[in-house]
């Protein structure tokens, strides 16, 4: 649904649950800025989602600042985008509870991320871990979002948000915009450097599997040097070559070259040369982000001002939707 200036609305969020990876950068954050001129954009640090897993309070606070600074360092201008922290807009939690009551138990039990996280956190399978897709639906629907830039691993949650929106609209008449997903095909999924059959994850205990946005150039080069490739020595994009194909995907994302151009560039060259080239392209691509992050994180007052202004603007939009929902379901408002 267009905002008051006639622009369609984009929403996305990132958890402040650890240093973000090049998978987060290439699959999501790098693409966010392309929406800034054409759309009304809301980008959120989703701290409410992060507490489904136990957090150290001081670390969660620090990472909330860092995630906001990373948003900005990756090209999100606070004058063009609404940047805010989820818990600063209480309407997220309030609509989350309401949508819990319109989300079916069976739908939530089919969420693959619940199964995965339950397996990893067997001692803390809490209710929030089960119902957080309803909160994610609230995050999106609260802003009458048209487009959600989303990683392929979150597609199931977006489908649930669409189902809940359509269910609510069917019961109470049109209330929510039914959002569409935007998944960039060229960087759909960045895989682990040590196990290219698994997604690169910031929580991976093997630090050589993961390249973080804020890694030093030396760390980036060392990790790519150790990256798993394949048994033969041909640099070719193919399903039966997951290690090399993952490196080619990363190289393509940082250089803009096609897979065919990459294959020609490294024709007759070995994996060692290729891995060094991927490392160089990645480190050089991240250098401006690291420099800008260092500048921003040193100015806590500015980050707090951005948080405050973003929360005020987000709350204005959120209140309109929440008020409509409350009236529809029969609350006295």
* Domain range annotation of the chain: 9-188+300-329, 207-293
Positions of E strands within 121-185: 147-149, 180-182
- Domain topology for 9-188+300-329: Rossmann fold (3.40.50)
Average pLDDT over the chain, rounded to an integer: 91
Percent of the chain with pLDDT over 90: 71
What crossing angle do the helices spanning 300-329 and 57-73 adopt, rounded to 10°? 100
* Residues with catalytic function: 117, 199, 202
pLDDT digits (tens, 9 = 90+) for 92-136: 999 999 999 999 999 998 887 777 777 777 787 888 889 999 999
152: closest CA among 187, 115, 202? 187
Residue 329, class by beta-carbon neighbours within 10 Å (0-12 exposed, 13-18 middle, 19+ buried)?
middle
Task: Supply the pTM of this predicted model.
Answer: 0.88
Average pLDDT over every residue of 286-301: 96
Beta strands 9-14 and 40-45, pairing class: parallel
Which architecture does CATH list for 207-293? Orthogonal Bundle (1.10)
Cβ count near 112 (within 10 Å): 10
Average pLDDT over residues 138-153: 90
| Confidence at 185, pLDDT banded by 50, 70, 90 | low
Give me the pLDDT at residue 315, please: 98
- In the chain, pLDDT over 70 holds for what percent of residues? 96
Which pLDDT score is estimated for 68? Answer: 96
Is residue 70 predicted with pLDDT exceeding 90? yes
**pLDDT at residue 109, rounded to an integer:** 87
- Distance (Å, whole) CA 270 – CA 249: 17
């Amino acid at each position: 649904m267009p905002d008051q200036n006639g622009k369609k609305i984009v929403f996305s969020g990132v958890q402040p649950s650890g240093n973000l990876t090049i998978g987060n950068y290439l699959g999501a954050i790098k693409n966010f800025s392309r929406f800034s001129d054409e759309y009304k954009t809301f980008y959120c640090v989703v701290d409410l989602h992060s507490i489904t897993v136990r957090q150290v309070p001081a670390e969660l606070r620090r990472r909330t600042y860092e995630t906001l600074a990373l948003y900005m360092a990756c090209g999100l201008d606070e004058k063009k985008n609404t940047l805010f922290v989820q818990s600063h807009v209480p309407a997220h939690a309030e609509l989350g509870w309401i949508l819990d009551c319109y989300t079916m138990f069976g739908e939530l039990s089919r969420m693959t991320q619940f199964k995965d996280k339950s397996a990893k956190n067997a001692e803390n399978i809490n209710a929030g871990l089960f119902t957080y897709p309803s909160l994610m639906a609230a995050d999106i629907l609260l802003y009458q979002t048209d487009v959600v830039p989303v990683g392929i691993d979150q597609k199931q949650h977006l489908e649930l948000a669409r189902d809940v929106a359509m269910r609510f609209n069917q019961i109470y008449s049109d209330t929510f915009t039914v959002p569409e997903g935007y998944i960039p095909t060229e960087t759909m999924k960045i895989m682990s450097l040590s196990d290219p059959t698994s997604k690169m994850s910031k929580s991976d205990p093997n630090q050589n599997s993961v390249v973080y946005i804020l890694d030093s150039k030396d760390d980036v080069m060392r990790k790519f040097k150790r990256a798993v490739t394949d048994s033969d020595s041909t640099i070719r994009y193919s399903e039966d070559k997951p290690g090399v194909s993952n490196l080619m995907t990363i190289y393509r994302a940082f250089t803009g070259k096609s897979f065919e151009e990459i294959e020609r560039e490294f024709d007759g060259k070995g994996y060692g040369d290729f891995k060094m080239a991927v490392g160089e392209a990645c480190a050089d691509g991240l250098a401006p982000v690291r420099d800008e992050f260092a500048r921003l994180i040193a100015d806590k007052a500015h980050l707090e001002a951005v948080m405050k202004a973003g929360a005020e603007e987000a709350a204005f939009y959120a209140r309109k939707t929440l008020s409509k929902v409350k009236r529809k379901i029969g609350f006295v408002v």
